Amino acid sequence: MNTYKILKDNIETIYLGKADGSLLEIERKYFDFLPEVGEEVEVFGTDGNYIITRKLTTNSNNPNNTKTLKIWGWICTTTSLLFLPFIFGVIGIVLGYLIRSRGDKEQGTVIMICATGAMIFGMWLGIIVWGSI
């Protein structure tokens, strides 16, 4: 397995360590992403010719947690139409952002847009209903 951990980041050189204690020194030009200390990467190739990719990690808690956030995001979005639109709208936007940052960019963006629209419509509806009384 060619899995390494980034140990040190100099301006031109990145130091990678393997679990068996071996050390690999690679120039930054082989990274097509911004390497961060502590991040796990996969290294392919030999001396002078490397391909380096981020190691994909799966979190078993992430899908369930994201599902819960999606449910609460939609609940807050729909609630903001009729009840405290500013508060529930902002909560819906924040939950949409959290969903987006945890990997489901499409659903998170949709929730943020809908929460913003529902918040504006809810405030407008409140002004019309309560303004006429």
CB 87 within 8 A of CB 128: no
> What is the tens place of the pLDDT at every residue in 67-95?
889 999 999 999 999 889 999 999 999 99
What is the arrangement of strands in the sheet containing 3-9, beginning at the earlier edge strand? 23-27, 13-17, 3-9, 40-46, 49-54
The reported pLDDT for the residue numbered 32 is 83
Decide: helix, strand or coil at residue 47.
coil
Q: What is the CATH number of the domain that holds 35?
A: 2.40.50
Q: Which domain holds residue 96?
A: 61-131
pTM greater than 0.85 (yes/no): no
pLDDT in tens, 9-55: 887 888 888 888 888 888 888 888 888 888 888 888 877 788 888 87
**Is residue 133 very low, low, confident or very high in pLDDT (cuts 50, 70, 90)?**
low
Q: Is it the case that residue 59 has pLDDT exceeding 70?
A: no
Non-local CB neighbours of 70 within 8 Å, separated by 6+ positions:
99, 104, 107, 111
User: Do residues 89 and 115 share a domain?
Assistant: yes
- Of 129, 65, 49, the closest CA to residue 99 belongs to 65
How many domains would you assign to the chain? 2
88 and 109 together in one domain = yes
